[in-house]
Amino acid sequence: MQATEALVRDVVQQVLKQMGGDAAAVSTSAGASGSATSSASYKGRYGIFTDVDEAVAAATEAFEELSSRTIEDRERIIGHIRRISIDQCVELGTMEMEETKIGRLEHKIEKLMTLGKKTPGVEFMKSEVFSGDHGLAVIEHAPFGVIGAITPVTHSLPTITGNAVSMIAGGNTLVVNPHPSGKRVAAEGVKRFNKAILEDVGIDNLICVISEPTLESADAIFSHRGVKMICVTGGPAVARAALNSGKRAVVAGPGNPPVVVDETADIDRAARAIIQGASYDNNLLCIAEKEVFVVDAVFDQMMAAMERNGAVRLNSQEIARLTEVAIATVGEGADRHDVAAKDFIGQDAAVLARAAGREIPADTLLVFGETDESNPFVPVEQMMPFVPFVRCRDVDQAIALAQKHEHGFRHTAIIHSHDVRNMTKMGRVMDTTLFVKNGPCMSSLGLGGEGYLSFSIATPTGEGVTTPLTFTRERRCSLIDDLRILGKA
């Protein structure tokens, strides 16, 4: 039997060699019985690689080792990731802020702590069973192997932390191509995680990171034979690239979450929720409130409530000045479209106000103002703490505009209302992965609402808020006619 396996492996290796393939792929696909042949060669690298082939080989080796360990070991490994995320959140959050230069320091710190505490772990691993006249069938959830992960600049280490916990809980290892502008904190966090895991559990490189990431290294991960699944978290370009990669892909794509406020809403509560959600980390969250459609009957009250609760209102000339500099146009011909200008993404509200020609207190969380639907801040995912408010005839118009400007991303939508019919109507029309009623966006991730958390919310591919089970494949084990212990002997 062993001789046959060795023969098969040799043949596969030869074929792959002719096709220009790599040995790492062989050890995953044909090496079910053995540990990686290059074992120990990557120990001590703590997951830091410049070369994708090496990173995948190291993650493959780590996967083989992890596969021989218990669920308790997985929990222990995840425990180190959680502990470092929580205990070192100030240092690592500060590092992320200094490197990326977007967002708010207190939220960079809080995100790491929250992901360390709340990312779903091994407790999400469940099996299903069918018990009947013909025995038992058990459905178990097996790992894919090495997962290629692409992470955004908006949450570089937080996304890696959340992905690592969920993917390792499912029994996988990962190779991460971080955003180039968040690569240093990504590498530092990964190094700390791997070092602690190696010292305690004896496995290195469960999380590998490409320390000099490029679009080419992302492509190399997408097409690598040793990568069994990919998970991308990012905007439209990377979402498209992942969907075209030919691999099983979990795609956490872009959003442009609209908010509807109708005449039955608790206006002050709505204002507080919008300020909390839209200003968090300077509006970098993909789920964050990006534009608000308010029915005419309560529009003026709503604007007053926003000011009462601490947001600063810009007038139409100020909004025009801000729009001029904070929205850019890219692309040619039919591809020409507006995007958020890089220099303003994730900057403080006071910086936006200054660009609009107004000095406001440095600690202001959010600026806002009335625009019409045609202002580019409405369709563009701005990722900065200015939110446009559009006056609508009635709730039907508000919902129609919300649907139009969500662009069919099916990501997140929010309503403030006490009318169950309006909530239902909007929920049906939007068809989004997350639909929040009467709370800030983050309450949909269990932060002030029910449910659980992930920073990779798979939208076009439909897995929703990712968990360890997202990164597993089903295996069914059937025993025919026996082991159903119910009934007479």
Residues that bind ligand NAD (CB under 6 A): 150-154, 177-180, 215, 218, 233-235, 237-238, 241, 252-255, 286, 381, 455-457, 459
Q: Identify which of residues 135 and 180 has a Cβ nearer to ligand NAD in the complex.
A: 180
Question: For ligand NAD, which residue has the nearest CB?
Answer: 234
Instruction: Output the smallest distance, CB 110 to ligand NAD, in A.
Output: 16
Instruction: Output the smallest distance, CB 203 to ligand NAD, in A.
Output: 26
DSSP 3-state of 183? helix
Angle between helices 71-87 and 183-201 (to 10 degrees): 130
Strand partners of residue 416: 261
Instruction: Output the smallest distance, CB 121 to ligand NAD, in A.
Output: 19
Instruction: Output the smallest distance, CB 465 to ligand NAD, in A.
Output: 8
Q: Identify which of residues 154 and 166 has a Cβ nearer to ligand NAD in the complex.
A: 154
Q: Which amino acid is at 165?
A: V
Please write down the long-range contacts of 243-251, taking CB distance under 8 Å and 24 or more positions apart: 243/460, 243/461, 247/148, 247/222, 248/144, 249/461, 250/456, 250/458, 250/461, 250/463, 250/466, 250/470, 250/471, 251/458, 251/459, 251/460, 251/461
Q: Identify which of residues 26 and 109 has a Cβ nearer to ligand NAD in the complex.
A: 109
φ/ψ of residue 30, rounded to 5: -110, -5
Neighbours of 330 (CB within 10 A): 10
Instruction: Output the smallest distance, CB 222 to ligand NAD, in A.
Output: 7
Q: Identify which of residues 189 and 234 has a Cβ nearer to ligand NAD in the complex.
A: 234
Give every strand in the sheet of 258-261, ordered side by side. 312-313, 367-370, 386-392, 291-295, 258-261, 412-416, 434-437
DSSP 3-state of 365? coil
Residue whose token pair is 């904190």: 185
Q: Identify which of residues 149 and 198 has a Cβ nearer to ligand NAD in the complex.
A: 149
φ/ψ of residue 2, rounded to 5: -65, -40
Instruction: Output the smallest distance, CB 428 to ligand NAD, in A.
Output: 22
Instruction: Output the smallest distance, CB 214 to ligand NAD, in A.
Output: 8
Tokens of 466: 């990712």
DSSP letter at 344 equals: G
**CA distance readout (Å), 411 to 231, 236, 368:** 16, 13, 23
Q: Identify which of residues 92 and 150 has a Cβ nearer to ligand NAD in the complex.
A: 150
Q: Identify which of residues 31 and 178 has a Cβ nearer to ligand NAD in the complex.
A: 178
Q: Which amino acid is at 331?
A: G
Q: Identify which of residues 31 and 148 has a Cβ nearer to ligand NAD in the complex.
A: 148
Q: Is the dihedral of CA 95, 101, 105, 110 positive or negative?
A: negative
Instruction: Output the smallest distance, CB 31 to ligand NAD, in A.
Output: 29
